[in-house]
Structure 1
Amino acid sequence: MKASVFYGKDDIRFEEVQKPVINDNEILIKLKACGLCGTDIHKVLEESVSKGTVLGHEFAGEVVETGKNVSSFSIGDRVTGGIHVPCFTCDQCSRGHYTLCPEFKKTNIHPGGFSEYIKIPVEHVRHLLYKIPEELSYSEASLAEPVACCIHGQKAVNIHPGDRVLIMGAGPIGLIHAQLLKKQLVKEVVITDVSDHRLNNAHAFGADTIINTAENNLRDYIQENGHPGFDIVIIAAGVSALLPEAMNVLKRGGTVVCFSPFTINPDVTIDAGMFFHDEKSIVGTYSVSPYEFEEALLAIQNGVINTEVLITHEMPLSDLGEAIQLTQKKNENVLKIVLKN
């Protein structure tokens, strides 16, 4: 079979790799669609993974082979799922911190979503593989993982009807967050970014207000509108400098959700007095547990997520390198790219 294999940021090869062989408890799927995630892009551009790695985790495909002990899925089933499975029994799992389970990152699909065939291990078959509703396309179903991650992130904080929420970052993740928030009857969703191309899409995803922070000051917006700050701030861009800014525009008693990884220059300075005097909070959220996938599929199925506008490009699996380059063109209207097989 073939896969798009990483060798360097300018060297991704669509080449022959060994087709996975399953055991009696596993499943083999033929990939139909795999979303290009921001983490995939960062891993390639920062060359933070080993040569020979096959990335991709937002997959959807068709079951083409099942182990003899597998009874919950059949050949021909359309499926999607995640890549990491917790043990459900350790100290972290017992407290609901499934993504912090020591076994979580040890589990994975093989070789990765950007390949023609994927082996689904027994843990995933049991806990993290879901049948795709008939009315959803494979491309739409590939959005289940990022939508589930956003649901997981919003569960980390108490969101109330009437809240004012700021989303920092108008990429696909920020836009998914906005759509989920509007269904929770928040009073206002403000999305910020430094790209007009991204911000121009935000109203279609539920943003009440868009602000280009390269040209406008968030504090000025708050003062002009006479409110005490945002109840919730979701940082949906991996820029560490956004954290102090988020704390400064946060309402007393509010919470900042650090959704995106701060991989570059993560050290920042925050006025620690805000934690005591203003009871402001910061929470981190990572990945997704098995419990959010069904919610994500329902959100897509019920039209909460505007998949038609969100998916701006569908490209062949062989064009992974070109897809990543496309995301770096600032004047292109690029939101979600889905690679298809």
Structure 2
Amino acid sequence: MKAAVFYDREDIRYEERPIPQIGENEILLKMKICGVCGTDIHKVVDRIVPPNTVLGHEVSGEIVQVGKNVTQFEEGDRVFVAHHVPCFTCHYCNRGNYSLCTQFKATNLDPGGFSEYIRVSAVHVKHTMGKLPSAMSFETGAFVEPVACCLHGFESIALNPGDTVFIMGAGQIGCIQIQLAKYFLADRVIVSDINPFRLNKSLEFGADYIINSKNEHVRDRIMEITDGQGADVVIISAGVNHLLTEAMECVGKGGTILVFAPFKRDLVPLRADRFFQDEIKLVGSYSSNPYNYDKALQLLKMGVVEADKMITHRFHLSQLNEAIQCAHSTKENVLKVLIKS
């Protein structure tokens, strides 16, 4: 089989690999679609994974072989699958913090989603795999994992109907979050970015106001839109450290800031007095958990998240290097990039 293998920032090789052998409780999946995630881009551009790594985790595909003990799936089933599984029994799992579980990050698909065939382990089969509705395309099915991640983030912010939500970053995740915020009955959704194409796309997904942070003063615009009150919820969906400082200036009294992007390990100045005086809450959200997938699938099925409208580019597996460069480019009119085998 073929796989797109990371070696360096601009060195992703389309290589021949042996088809994985499965055990009696496992499944062999033929990858049909794998989405390019912001974390895939981060791992490639910043070289934070070792050479000889196969990335990719937003996977949909068709089952081509099942282990003899697998009863809930069969050959030919169209499915989605996600890449991390918690143990459900450790300190963190018992507190509902599944993505902090040691096993969570240790588990993965074999190899990653940017390969023609994937061995799906027994714990993945049990906890992160699900059948796609007959009318749902593989492309839409590949959105289950990122929508689940966004749902996990929304679990942390206690969004109330009528709230004003400010999303910093109009990329693929930001546009999913716009649609979810509207679904959860946010009154106003404000989106900032420096990319005019993405800002205009955010309007298509329900944003009420857009702010070009390259040309406009973000705090002033937020206060103008909210009559000086600030946003009830601020979601940081771009991995730019200074956005945290900016978010503290834009969140209203009693509001919540959700960090939904990987930051570098730098010190960031914050208005520390606001935590006490204004009862500001600052929370983080990493990945998803197995309890998010069914809801994500249903929201896609209902059209709450319009996956088809988000796709701007499609590349063959052999073109992953070009796909990463496209997704990372500030010049391309790009939102969601998909890889097909």
TM-score by length of 2: 0.98
Instruction: Provide the C-alpha distance between the structure 2 equivalents of 1:143 and 1:205, rounded to a whole number of angstroms.
Output: 16
Q: Name 1:108's counterpart in structure 2.
A: 108
Q: Structure 1 stretches of 5 or more lacking a match? A: none
Q: Name 2:211's counterpart in structure 1.
A: 211
Provide the secondary structure at the position in 1 that maps to 2:59.
strand
Contact 2:219–2:246 (8 Å) recurs in 1: no
Contact 2:87–2:101 (8 Å) recurs in 1: yes
Instruction: Provide the C-alpha distance between the structure 2 equivalents of 1:291 and 1:173, rounded to a whole number of angstroms.
Output: 19
Instruction: Provide the C-alpha distance between the structure 2 equivalents of 1:267 and 1:55, rounded to a whole number of angstroms.
Output: 29
Q: Name 2:45's counterpart in structure 1.
A: 45
Aligned pairs for 1:26-37 within 5 A: 26-37=26-37
RMSD: 1.0
> Which sits farther off after the overlay, 233-242 or 193-202?
193-202
Aligned pairs for 1:191-340 within 5 A: 191-225=191-225, 226-263=227-264, 266-340=266-340
Instruction: Provide the C-alpha distance between the structure 1 equivalents of 2:55 and 2:252, rounded to a whole number of angstroms.
Output: 39
Structure 2 counterpart of 1:84, which letter? H
Instruction: Provide the C-alpha distance between the structure 1 equivalents of 2:247 and 2:103, rounded to a whole number of angstroms.
Output: 33
1:106-145 CA-to-partner distances (Å, cap 9, x unmatched) read 1111010000000000111111110011111111100110
Q: Name 2:20's counterpart in structure 1.
A: 20
Q: Name 1:177's counterpart in structure 2.
A: 177
Contact 1:81–1:293 (8 Å) recurs in 2: no
Structure 1 counterpart of 2:51, which letter? K
Aligned pairs for 1:120-135 within 5 A: 120-135=120-135
Contact 1:165–1:188 (8 Å) recurs in 2: yes
Q: Structure 2 stretches of 5 or more lacking a match? A: none
Matched, 1:150 2:150: yes
Contact 1:20–1:118 (8 Å) recurs in 2: yes
Instruction: Provide the C-alpha distance between the structure 1 equivalents of 2:168 and 2:223, rounded to a whole number of angstroms.
Output: 18
C-alpha displacement at 1:269, in angstroms? Answer: 1.0
Instruction: Provide the C-alpha distance between the structure 2 equivalents of 1:260 and 1:319, rounded to a whole number of angstroms.
Output: 26
Contact 2:223–2:250 (8 Å) recurs in 1: no
How many residue pairs match? The answer is 340
Provide the secondary structure at the position in 1 that maps to 2:263.
coil
Contact 2:190–2:209 (8 Å) recurs in 1: yes
Structure 1 counterpart of 2:181, which letter? L
C-alpha displacement at 1:223, in angstroms? Answer: 3.6
Aligned pairs for 1:59-138 within 5 A: 59-138=59-138
Instruction: Provide the C-alpha distance between the structure 2 equivalents of 1:113 and 1:340, rounded to a whole number of angstroms.
Output: 10
Instruction: Provide the C-alpha distance between the structure 2 equivalents of 1:181 and 1:40, rounded to a whole number of angstroms.
Output: 25
> Which sits farther off after the overlay, 231-240 or 308-317?
308-317
Instruction: Provide the C-alpha distance between the structure 2 equivalents of 1:188 and 1:256, rounded to a whole number of angstroms.
Output: 16
C-alpha displacement at 1:216, in angstroms? Answer: 0.7
Provide the secondary structure at the position in 2 that maps to 1:13.
strand
